Amino acid sequence: MTISDFLRKKAALKPKRILFPESDDERIIKAAIEISNLKIAIPILLSDKKIEGLDTLDENDGEMKKRAVCFVQETKKISEEEAKSFISNKINFATVLVYLGYADALVAGANTSTADTLKPSLYLRKLYPGVPPVTSCFFMETKLNGENKTFVFSDCALNPEPSPAMLAQISNSAAKAAKNILDIKPYVALLSFSTKQSANSPSVEKVRTALEIAKSKFPDLIIDGEMQADAAIIDWIGEKKAPNSPVAGKANVLIFPDLNSGNIAYKLVERLANAKAIGPIILGLNPPVNDLSRGCSVDDIIDVTAVSSIQGGFYESNI
């Protein structure tokens, strides 16, 4: 079973309501029809017109706008005029509607930058002690030793220069994604150009510090580092370079020391190894919001929607 098949099958067990604000994009409409047929989610389009066979929310509905304005006012302690200005942007308005319970998750980005897709969620987000930071990951399906294998790559989209503490948080969030979304037992490797003190530099020291923080803060994580990529994923190399590691040779969650390395790595694996890349999957937002590439295909939209539907089930009690 491919990763797409797995995600769609899992999402279909308890399909959630997914709001699509970019309702004038033909790819979104085609994907929404297929999503509805597959029953992996209940697609809802934010539109000023009815679309045959699909649920819609009227973006000009006065009562809905009034509720949205009140919510933004109360949440951000701003004036009515400022709140009205905020929801005049369609992505912002859709985000507020998800917070209000009109849907369980939001998928956008087909015609919107990542920054503009995520900005309203980050603006409305309520922060308090214990809330995890917002990170991202990619699900990568490729072949290793002739067999299909799925990896989680993180963080490849959001955090440019994560501190050691942030790397520890990224590790925990990515491991949860592996376990809760992909149903795989996570073995987390903190990647570096060094394996177990084979080299020294400030960047290597950052990874070592991140490991100590992760072990202290998340004692149930199976995690190790610093580790070169080959030692992390190839068993005989892992045995040679890190013989006592609980992770070396079997890592399936790969944590990159910075955004440069993570973004370069996932794109190289996707293009050179013909791997399937699903993401970026945004982790740490409640309700869930996921970003599409502006070059996304209909299949890409369906895959991200399946993930969003699964994520929506984690947070349903809070919506």
Question: What does the pLDDT look like over 173-206, one tens digit per residue?
Answer: 999 999 999 999 999 999 999 998 877 888 899 9
User: What is the reported pLDDT for 244?
Assistant: 92
Cβ-Cβ contacts under 8 Å for 318 (sequence gap 6 or more): 286, 287
pLDDT band at 143 (very low <50, low <70, confident <90, very high): confident
Cβ-in-10-Å burial (0-12, 13-18, 19+) of 141 comes to middle
Question: CATH topology of 3-125+285-318 equal to that of 135-272?
Answer: yes
pLDDT at 17 > cutoff 50: yes
What pTM value is reported for the model? Answer: 0.92
Question: What does the pLDDT look like over 280-307, one tens digit per residue?
Answer: 999 999 999 999 988 899 999 999 999 9
CATH architecture of 135-272: 3-Layer(aba) Sandwich (3.40)
Q: Is the dihedral of CA 163, 166, 172, 176 positive or negative?
A: negative
Please state the domain extents for the chain. 3-125+285-318, 135-272
CATH architecture of 3-125+285-318: 3-Layer(aba) Sandwich (3.40)
